[in-house]
Amino acid sequence: MSDTAILQNHLFVGAVLFALGLIGFLVRRNVIVMFLCVELMLQGVALSLVSWSRYHGDWGGQMLVIFIITVAACEAALGLALVWIMAQRGGSLDIAIWQTLRERDQAPYTDREVPEEDRSVEDWPQLTPAGVEPVHPREEDMYRSHV
């Protein structure tokens, strides 16, 4: 295979990795997955740099790759600390729960509409008289394995 063909193949894989990372960053909502998607983009960059470096016969690209990996490690340390605090405070890894900061008139983003309850039917729970054991449904006894 000629040098150019190898270069093209490598660049193509690099571009695919970068694009997958970018798409993942845009569509996923888990903080950890978003962070990993950026790392995937960085891997795509590293692959293109190394292949260009090999093609040109120059060390510069590989030098940059080593620094990219180092910097990405620093960012991972900070990012995991951030994820930990966010999970602790927010109780979820979903990025969409963090929307306190926004324009004043902007409505908050809700992904699932809770259906309106039908208020017309009065469905109050019936309380049993104190001291009387309620009647258990038969099915519940059959299917309940323990308790």
Partner 1 sequence: MPTSLDMLFRMTPEILLIVGAVWIIVGNAFAPQRAGWWVMALATVAMAGWALAQQGMPVVPAPSTGGESVHVGSADADSVVVAGLAIHDELAQAIRWFAIVLAFLLVVMASRAGAESLFGEQLGSILLILAGIMIAASATNLVLLFLGLELVSIPTYILLFLGRANRQSLEATAKYFLLSILASAVMLYGFSFLYGSTGSMDLSRISANVREPASPLGAGGIWTMGMVLVLLGLSFKLGSFPAHFYAPDVYEGTTSVNAALLAVAPKVAGIVALVRLFLMNSMEVHPFLWHMFLLLALATMTIGNVCALWQNNIRRLLAYSSIAHAGYMLIGLAVALAMWKTSTGLQGASATLFYLVVYAIAVLGTFAGLAYLASARDEIQDVEQLAGMGRSYPVVAGALGLLMFSLSGIPPLAGFWGKLGLFASAVEAAGVSAAGVRSPWFLVLVVGGALNAAIAAAYYLRIVRTLFFRSGTQQLAPEGGSGARNVAVFAALLTLAVGILPGPLLVATRNATCGLNRDRAPLMVTAAPVSSGHQDSIVTRP
Closest CB to partner 1 among 22 and 118? 22
Minimal CA–CA distance to 76: which of 41, 20, 38?
Answer: 38
Closest CB to partner 1 among 73 and 130? 73
CB 138, min distance to partner 1, A: 49
Write the DSSP assignment of 87-144 as a string of letters.
HHHHSS-BGGG--SSS-TTPPPP-SSPPPPP--SS--PPPPPPTT-PPPPPHHHHHH-
The count of other CB atoms within 10 Å of the CB of residue 117 is 8
Closest CB to partner 1 among 5 and 142? 5
CB 49, min distance to partner 1, A: 5
Q: Which residues bind partner 1 (CB under 8 A)?
A: 4, 7-8, 11, 14, 18, 21, 25, 31, 34-35, 38, 41-42, 44-45, 48-49, 52-53, 55-56, 58-61, 63-64, 67-68, 71, 74-75, 78-79, 81-82, 85-86, 89, 95, 98-104
DSSP lists the bridge partners of residue 94 as 30
